[in-house]
Amino acid sequence: MKSELFINGAWVAAQSGGMIDVIDPASEQVVHQIASAEAADIDAAVKAAKSAFDAGTWSGMTGAERAIVLRNIATGIEARTEELARLEVLDNGKPLPEARWDIEDAAACFHFYAGLSEELDAEGAQNITVSDDRFTTRVVKEPVGVVGAIIPWNFPLLMAAWKVAPALAAGCTMVLKPSEVTALTALELGDIAQKAGLPDGVLNIVTGFGPSAGQPLTEHPDIDKLAFTGSVTTGSRIMQSAAKDIKNLSLELGGKSPFVVFGDSDIEQAVEWIMFGIFWNQGEVCSATSRVLVEDTIYEKLVARLELEARKITIGDGMDEGVLLGPLVNKSQYDKVLGLIATGVEEGARLVCGGAHTDIGKGYFVAPTIFADVDENSVIWQEEIFGPVVCLKPFSSESEAVRLANDSEYGLAAAVMSKDDARCERVAHALRAGIVWINCSQPTFVEAPWGGYKKSGIGRELGKWGLNNYLETKQITRFDDNSPWGWYLKQAEDQTG
C-alpha cells in the first residue's frame, strides 16, 4: 500500500511530515497511514502539472497516442482487480463483490475514454461557413489546461476514473485529491499510470484534509479547471473559490432521489429495485432513490414485502462471503446516519425496521432501515442521509406523485415504475432530475451523461459530455483577401448606404 504523495512522477513525503490514519470501518482498527498534504505540497503538485502542460509532453500528443497510455492504465487496473477490490473494502467497507464491480467499471472508463481520445483526431478542425466568403473559419477543441479534481469516499477508484480518464483523454494535466478517508486505491492509480507510460507531472495525487489540502488546491492561481464530487456545502465553498479567478467549474453534488411506484407495478420487481436503489453500497450513493412514493392501492402490501426482504440482508465485514451490507465508511458518517434515524422517530415517522446494528460488536454497522408514512416536510424526507435508510409515503394521483417527487432542493436522479408505458414517459419528462430511470433504479453507463438539476450540481460527467468538461472551444478565422482596407471601405459604404 502506498503512503506518500505522487508528485511529478515521484513518491514523496508531505513536507510537514504529517500522516493520516487509515481505519478499517469493519473493525475500527488503524490499518495504514497516508501522507497529509498541506499548501506547500499542493503548490508543488500544481507546478508539476503546469510544467508538464506547458511543455506539451501530454497535451501535444495526438489523441491516438494518448489512447495507448489510457488503455495501458485500463489493463493495469484489470490486472490488479482483486488486489484493488480488497483495498477498497479495507478502506471503504463495501462488500467485496461490489468492490470488484467498481474496479471493473473503473477500467472500463479508461477504455471508453481511450476511444474518445482517438475520436478527437478524427474530428480535427471543423470548418464553419460564414456570411462573407473572403473569410475562412474553423473551430478546434483544445485541453482546458491544469485540472484540480476532488473526489468523495463512496466509490474511491471509480470516482477517480470518472475525472482522470476524460481529463487525460482531452490532453489536460491534473492534480487529484481523493478523500482522506478512502485514498488507498487512488494512490495505486498513480503507480498504475506511471507504469502505463504516463509522462511525469501529468497526473499528481495528493492526500490530505479539506481545509489544509483541498482549499489550497481550489484557490491555486495556476488551476484552470476545478472538478468536484461531494456535498452541497463543500461544493458551494468551491464555487466561491472558483469565482475569484473565474475558473472553469463542474460540480456533482448531493441528491434525495424519488422513486415513484404506481399501483399497476409488479410488487416483487418494485421491491427488488427499491432494495438496489437504497441498500447498494450501504446507501452511500449520491443518486440513491431514498424517497419512495407508492400509490395508495398497493402501499401497505409493498411496505410489508419490503420489510420482509430487508430483514434478510446479511450484514457484516465486506470481506466475508455472503455479506450484502457492510459498515458505513467511518464514525462520523455512522453518527450522522444514526442521528437522522433518531430524528425520524422524533418527527413521528413509522420506523418499520432498522437502526444501529450491534450484534457484530465493533464496526460502523447500520441495519437496513425503513421509515413509512413520512411527512413531506420532515428532515428525513428532505435531507440527504447517505446511509441505508429509505423513506416511504403514499400518493393517490399522478399529479400528486410528481409534485411530491419534485419538492426537493435536489435534482440528481429519479425513477418511475408502471406497466403503463405512456404514463412512465409522461412522468419521466415531468420529473426535474438529470437522470430518470423507468422500471429500474441505479443503472449507470459510461456512455451516458451523469449530473443533476438544482443543487445537485453543474455540468455533466461521463460519455462525450464528460470529455467536453475538459475541452475549450476555439474559433480560428482567416482573411483570404489581399485588400483588407478595401474590405473595410466596402463595409463602411454598405452601412452608410
Q: Which amino acids are annotated catalytic?
A: 252, 286
Which 8-state DSSP code applies to residue 396?
S
Facing residues of 147 across strands?
A: 174, 225
Q: How far apart are the C-alpha atoms of 250 and 259, rounded to whole Å?
A: 26
Note the residue count of the chain: 497
DSSP characters over 174-212: EEEE--TTS-HHHHHHHHHHHHTTPPTTSEEE----III
Question: Could you give phi then psi for residue 365, rounded to 5 degrees?
Answer: -95, 130
Q: Contact at 8 Å (CB) between 311 and 359?
A: no
Q: How far apart are the C-alpha atoms of 288 and 323, rounded to whole Å?
A: 20
Q: How far apart are the C-alpha atoms of 123 and 253, rounded to whole Å?
A: 32
Burial of residue 308 (CB within 10 Å: 0-12, 13-18, 19+) is exposed
The SS3 of residue 32 is: strand
The SS3 of residue 7 is: strand
Q: How far apart are the C-alpha atoms of 91 and 283, rounded to whole Å?
A: 16
